[in-house]
Structure 1
């Protein structure tokens, strides 16, 4: 499975593409950031993020997109910008019919390090180790995006199988319900 991880941000939107499967070695395809000028108009910055995400989607053709779920911080303007950049990435993926998953930072940390409270240095060290790299992708936003992609490969695949099993079960129940003879209102 090939996954594009997105660590949303207006100034630096981290992007990372990882290929792999549960129980198999992971491979880093590319990691980097889309940068926008903090002095530019918001609309232009969002267009810049969109162009960057679209370029990555074109070049890497992922099967899924994993975006960091925005959580509340003390700096409201940062949260809003992060949410807007995340929404752009989600829209780009949806436009192509790609499945999108949202993972919290602690979910990604737990998947990578075993602890949802790991610090950035621990996450970066494990990303490098898991991908057999001399060092973690730079800047930190790129490493975070790669961690999200890994998290999705390891956790998202299982979540997708559970969801598919639930859909299959619901479909079978509905087919069985339809196959039953209609009750005879006259009791015959």
Structure 2
């Protein structure tokens, strides 16, 4: 099963793709879609086209997107939510099932604690995907989202098999 994880951002939208084979994970690719400028509409269009190109190139089977956390800056949170909407639209238009995870749930799954720092996430992603060359912190976060989804899907599959 090939999973794309997405770390939504308005300037840097991280993406990472892993393949699961039972309990084993293998890195496929990772990167960042960059947008710049002051106008929101064109920036969102760049993010959408970039993610659609990644999805077309790698043909994932399912997707996972990090949920937006609410912070003190309401305008920033709203803009991040719009970038997240672009991520959800991109994978939904490709017909992929989508898992959504809170930042703390992703950190807890990958690092073991819900309030891990970016350096800890990068370290564990490198540990879980030996030889991975990270494009940047946003790509590492996206791979963590994909790893989190892989673990949750595997857990649901084992539960279904146990009930059968």
Report the TM-score, using the length of structure 1 for normalisation.
0.79
Deviation per residue, 1:57-96 (Å, 9 max, x gap): 0011111110000010112222112111111111121112
The alpha-carbon deviation at position 48 of structure 1 amounts to 0.4
For structure 2, the 5+ residue unaligned runs are none
Report what 1:32 is aligned to: 31
2: distance between equivalents of 1:71 and 1:27?
28
Mapping for residues 85-100 of structure 1, pairs under 5 Å = 85-100=83-98
Whose RCO is larger (CA < 8 A, sep 6+)?
Answer: 2
Moved over 3 A (4+): 159-162
Structure richer in strand, relative to its length:
2
Structure 1 residues 75 and 126, CA gap change in structure 2 (3 angstroms): same
Report what 2:19 is aligned to: 19
> The residue matched to 2:71 in structure 1 has which SS?
coil
Report what 1:146 is aligned to: 143
Which of 47, 51, 54 is the aligned partner of 1:53? 51
Please say if residues 13 and 34 of structure 1, whose CA atoms lie closer than 8 Å, have aligned partners that are also in contact: yes
Cα-Cα RMSD: 2.0
2: distance between equivalents of 1:137 and 1:73?
27
Report the TM-score, using the length of structure 2 for normalisation.
0.90
For structure 1, the 5+ residue unaligned runs are 170-188
Kindly tell me the number of residue pairs found equivalent between the two proteins. 162
Mapping for residues 96-175 of structure 1, pairs under 5 Å = 96-133=94-131, 137-159=134-156
Report what 1:4 is aligned to: 4
